[in-house]
Chains A and B, each alone.
Chain A
Amino acid sequence: MPEIVLTNITKSWPRAGGKKGERTVGVDNLNLTIKDRGFITLLGPSGCGKTTTLRMIAGLETPTSGKITIGGKVVFDSEKGINISPDKRNVGFLFQNYALWPHMTVYKNIAFGLENMKWKKEDIKARVTELLAMLKIDELGDRYPSELSGGQQQRVAIARTLAPKPSVLFMDEPLSNLDAKLRLEMRTELKRLHRDTESTFVYVTHDQLEAMTLATEVCLMEKGVLQQYDPPLEVYAKPNNLFVADFVGNPTMNFLRGQVISREGNKAQIKFDETLVEFEANDNFDLSEINEQVVLGVRPEFVVSGTSKGRKAEVIASLPSGMETTLKVKIDETILTSVVFGIVDYPVGEKITINFADNHIVLFDGVTTNRICDGKLAFVK
């Protein structure tokens, strides 16, 4: 079944207005294995090469070099000069703006692909009816795309993509044109579809929440370079570097830039501003070799308040949202974000005690910005 393997995929263009030979790199030496029946999201800020990657796998764009196989079959190989056209890759593609054909009815839009595959008339009818029911748009068959709402168009686009039963389904930010409520609904729908259709899904998004909630694996890219490729919770808990740590999670991670004062075994004393903290690495990770410049990454939910031990901090902002309240607190010159669960609010200016909880504090190298290890963190008296 379809496992997709990308080997050393690079895409570059001649630089506009640049000298001869200068090239803009869209995707740089990407290696990626997408497991069969996986649901992976290509995540990253706009312009990071995720859409280009997707289009290259689908065959809509030609890589500059590298090799792509889908289900063991080589569909692109720059060295051997193989480049199989998109219609022979047995893939489905859901476009961001749906790309519904304005001159065809909903029924015709869905049936078009099946007609091209020379399906029998009654089979086409059965399949289209099945899809219309599956996506709960039974009554829209005779309408034209311009007569549909955004959500309905979205469903028609999904139905059209699913109709020929592709073993691989590519989606390019399919939910970004929908309103918040509908987006939530469609996310659930997509997860259900993924289970029901048993296809491999590759999904492009710049919305980290979407990526986290949908995917079995997240592929995070920046400026055409792969940053991390792991299950979502792994990406959240153990980000490979500061970029990943910063991009994933909302509110964003706290970064405490500090200097190592002393190190011994799996413990190190680190000073940021005037505050001294002790970091204790998990699994007896040896810290004796680490750089002097480090960054401590603390997720907001691990900055806890109201503890008996800890440090006094001043509340400078309180943003309650009902289920949780986001607090901005100040220690010395550093502002920390904290998330407190429950229906609570704090007056600005109040002094509260804060502390670090759990053993998911991440230690980054201050120079390379890569993750060293994770562990516990405590204030030193």
Chain B
Amino acid sequence: MDNSLTLPKDNPETTPPSNDKPLTRWQKIWNAIKTYFSKPANIILVIFAVLLSITVVLPLAYLLFNTFQIHPGEGSLGKIGSLTAMHWFRVLFDAEYDYSVNLFWKPLGNSIGMSLIACLIAIIIGGGIAYLITRTNLPFKKFISTVFVFPYIMPSWSIAMFWENFFKNTSLPGIQAQTGLFQAMTTLSVPSGFVYGFWPCAICLGIHYAPFAYILIGGILRNMDANLEEAATILKASRLKIMRKITLPIVLPALISTVLLVFASSISSYTVPMFLGKDGFMTISLKMRALFTKSQTMGQGYVVATILMLFSFGILMLNQFITNSRRSFTTVTGKSGQVSLVRIKKPARIILTIVVLFYVGFFAIFPLVSFALESFLATSGDYSKFTTYYWTTTDETNPYITGSVGILHNATIWNAYLNSLLISLACALIAGTFGILIGYAVARTRGKHLSNYVSNMAFLPYLIPAMSFSTIYLAVSSAKAFSFLYQSIFLLILVGSIKFTPFASRSGTNAMLQLSGEIEEAAIIVGVPWWKRMTRVLFPIQKSSFISGYLLPFISCMRELTLFVLLTDSSLILTAVLQNYETYDCTQISNGINLIIIASVLIINLVTNKVTGASIDKGVGG
């Protein structure tokens, strides 16, 4: 007791506070836990940390493990189930008959080249349109900006399919020798390299991702303080110099992000080379698909998937490194309402307008017309005879596909359509809700380790190439314990939800960060429970952003094939059915199906936009 009198503060255990018993260590921890979990944000954070670890991190580890494992069918390498480095060796270094070169290095080179060109095209077209729309007096802005994003909303192969429809001609070898629209109109036939192969793939990817560049760069330009440019004008910089020294450097982070994200998406693109690689053009994603279809090469497929993924990680790191520099690019918005638009003089303005309108007409509207036309052709390539046969007949139209009756009577198509809708709806609901919850938790606990972890893990699926991602789940569902998942709708919903959560979590986080904590605190003070705060206070304020968070996954899911191609048979979802008809050259029906998909997506986008004000350019896109 003497001790406690002389050193009361240093020895709390011997000097209990007057009434309370001393807390044991466990009680203290228990109290700390209780305090921690009294905040809803923390509960959500912990739940998602666990959930995302299971759905993202564990499968990644499993994928890596698979690259070393000997699978059934690979028995020549050793005992099935044991470990080997042969997969890596064969993919990367096997010089026998140039195996690695043909399997991996050449397709990789093709993919990289194709992706770089696609980036360039996307930046030039998307950035150019963004500049014209935000900074000049170009007419018809509203129409152009609405229609310009169409190619991005459409399934990624649409432009490729349109390209093929348009340019295919009778001078091509083999089965592809059909009259295309261009030949029908001009009687000219373009060379094969213009229809199939490297350049057409790169161009179609570029056109598909140009709206993405437009959304990112346009966002920066719109928020960029016009005073920055005016200040340079006053200091006697020429228009070209302002562009070069002021505008470009300031939009540079958006440009870099665009390049990197378009690159990441392009390099793993499967559908575009599937349509336009018919002349033997091989990309890494086509190769990967081929590896997975043979049981002897599964392991090598996993290796390629892992490498593709590493590429994306590298790109993300690069992106973060570049945009996190000292030169902060946060743009303070000043009196930007007073933006004085660059006046383009008469002749140039008319020419530019015509060029831009021609572009959106050709690549955004004309494809729809082309799909419709193609589906009504009696014989593919013969533009003299139209028929509703492929829509209405009850006869089989293709000897290889059972049940290939006219689209309107085709039970497979409409079943798949319903499945697609169902899966998209489920994915949208799950991903969108996840996005809002993650956004809330991350915004409220900013800077904490767990918060960063959840935020990064929720974005990670974006960077995992779609096919690698589905590979992981293919591997998981092939495992005995999870065999109930194999080729089920549930698996697709699971994969889709996780894969599209990044869109939703990005828009959710941004929306939540814009809301000051005080808005919620005002409700906490008067005792409004958490659930009500979310639904009655926070959600209504940022309604359009949150709904965008639901809309994006829906649209992406509806038009998705790459992600699902390994996980379904050819009749489960509409995009897979389309691929099946395309494979057997049943162009009328595949065009018709594509038309149905695009029309559904566009209508849903338009209706949501009109009703709620949400639109896809409010999200990140991908």
Stretch at the interface among B10-18, B327-335, B417-425, B518-526: B327-335
Q: A125: shortest Cβ distance to chain B, in Å?
A: 17
Is B237's CB under 8 angstroms from A144's CB? Answer: no
Whole-angstrom CA separation of A101 from B241 in the bound complex: 14
Is A91's CB under 8 angstroms from B227's CB? Answer: no
Which residues of chain A come closer than 8 Å to B250, judged between CB atoms? 101-103
The residue on A at minimum CB distance from B233 is A86
The residue on A at minimum CB distance from B332 is A97
Given contacts A55-B338, A117-B236, contact A99 B330 (CB under 8 A): no
Is B236's CB under 8 angstroms from A102's CB? Answer: no
Given contacts A55-B338, A99-B227, contact A144 B233 (CB under 8 A): no
From 307 to 335 in chain B, residues with beta carbon under 8 angstroms from any chain A beta carbon are 326-335
A164 within 8 Å of B (CB atoms): yes
Q: A319: shortest Cβ distance to chain B, in Å?
A: 30
Is A91's CB under 8 angstroms from B234's CB? Answer: yes
The residue on A at minimum CB distance from B228 is A99
B232 within 8 Å of A (CB atoms): yes
B94 within 8 Å of A (CB atoms): no
Given contacts A95-B334, A97-B334, contact A87 B227 (CB under 8 A): no
A22 within 8 Å of B (CB atoms): no
Is A144's CB under 8 angstroms from B327's CB? Answer: yes
Which of these, A60, A95, A102, contacts B328 with CB under 8 Å?
A102
Which of these, B235, B338, B340, contacts A116 with CB under 8 Å?
B235
Whole-angstrom CA separation of A164 from B328 in the bound complex: 27
A58 within 8 Å of B (CB atoms): yes
The residue on A at minimum CB distance from B250 is A103
Is A99's CB under 8 angstroms from B225's CB? Answer: yes
Which of these, A60, A117, A147, A172, contacts B340 with CB under 8 Å?
A60
Which residues of chain A come closer than 8 Å to B475, judged between CB atoms? none
Is A95's CB under 8 angstroms from B236's CB? Answer: no
Please tell me the number of chain A residues within 8 Å of chain B, measured between CB atoms.
Answer: 29
Interface string of A139-164 (1 = CB under 8 A from B): 00000101100000000000010011
Is A101's CB under 8 angstroms from B234's CB? Answer: no
The residue on B at minimum CB distance from A163 is B235
Q: A124: shortest Cβ distance to chain B, in Å?
A: 13
Most buried by A among B227, B238, B340: B227
Q: A84: shortest Cβ distance to chain B, in Å?
A: 12
B112 within 8 Å of A (CB atoms): no
Given contacts A87-B233, A164-B236, contact A116 B328 (CB under 8 A): no
Q: A356: shortest Cβ distance to chain B, in Å?
A: 44
B77 within 8 Å of A (CB atoms): no
Q: B291: shortest Cβ distance to chain A, in Å?
A: 45
Interface string of A45-60 (1 = CB under 8 A from B): 0000001000100101
Which residues of chain A come closer than 8 Å to B227, judged between CB atoms? 95-97, 99
The residue on B at minimum CB distance from A60 is B230
Given contacts A55-B338, A95-B227, A146-B330, contact A116 B234 (CB under 8 A): no
Given contacts A97-B334, A112-B245, contact A86 B328 (CB under 8 A): no
Which residues of chain A come closer than 8 Å to B249, judged between CB atoms? 101, 103
Whole-angstrom CA separation of A93 from B227 in the bound complex: 10
B252 within 8 Å of A (CB atoms): yes
Contact size range, B: 20 to 34
Whole-angstrom CA separation of A103 from B331 in the bound complex: 11
Is A95's CB under 8 angstroms from B237's CB? Answer: no
From 193 to 224 in chain B, residues with beta carbon under 8 angstroms from any chain A beta carbon are none
Whole-angstrom CA separation of A113 from B333 in the bound complex: 23
Is B329's CB under 8 angstroms from A99's CB? Answer: no
Is B234's CB under 8 angstroms from A144's CB? Answer: no
Interface string of A171-210 (1 = CB under 8 A from B): 0100000000000000000000000000000000000000
Is B335's CB under 8 angstroms from A51's CB? Answer: yes
Which residues of chain B come closer than 8 Å to A87, judged between CB atoms? 233-237
Whole-angstrom CA separation of A144 from B250 in the bound complex: 13
The residue on B at minimum CB distance from A93 is B234
The residue on A at minimum CB distance from B231 is A99
Given contacts A95-B227, A95-B230, contact A112 B338 (CB under 8 A): no
Most buried by B among A51, A97, A117, A147: A97
Whole-angstrom CA separation of A144 from B148 in the bound complex: 37
Whole-angstrom CA separation of A116 from B235 in the bound complex: 7
B246 within 8 Å of A (CB atoms): yes
The residue on A at minimum CB distance from B329 is A102
Is A92's CB under 8 angstroms from B245's CB? Answer: no
Given contacts A60-B340, A87-B236, A112-B235, contact A102 B331 (CB under 8 A): yes
Is B334's CB under 8 angstroms from A99's CB? Answer: yes
From 63 to 97 in chain A, residues with beta carbon under 8 angstroms from any chain B beta carbon are 85-87, 91-93, 95-97
Which of these, B228, B326, B333, B334, contacts A144 with CB under 8 Å?
B326
A264 within 8 Å of B (CB atoms): no
> Could you give 21 example pairs across A and B, Cβ below 8 Å?
A58-B234, A60-B233, A60-B340, A86-B233, A87-B233, A87-B234, A87-B235, A92-B234, A95-B227, A95-B231, A97-B225, A99-B334, A101-B246, A103-B327, A112-B245, A113-B234, A113-B236, A116-B241, A117-B236, A144-B326, A147-B326
Contacts A87-B236, A102-B330 supplied; 16 other A-B pairs, CB < 8 Å: A60-B233, A86-B230, A86-B234, A93-B231, A96-B334, A97-B227, A97-B333, A97-B334, A99-B227, A101-B228, A102-B250, A102-B328, A102-B329, A103-B329, A116-B236, A116-B238
Interfacial residues, chain B to chain A (CB-CB below 8 A): 225, 227-228, 230-238, 241, 245-246, 249-250, 252, 326-335, 338, 340
Interfacial residues, chain A to chain B (CB-CB below 8 A): 51, 55, 58, 60-61, 85-87, 91-93, 95-97, 99, 101-103, 112-113, 116-117, 144, 146-147, 160, 163-164, 172
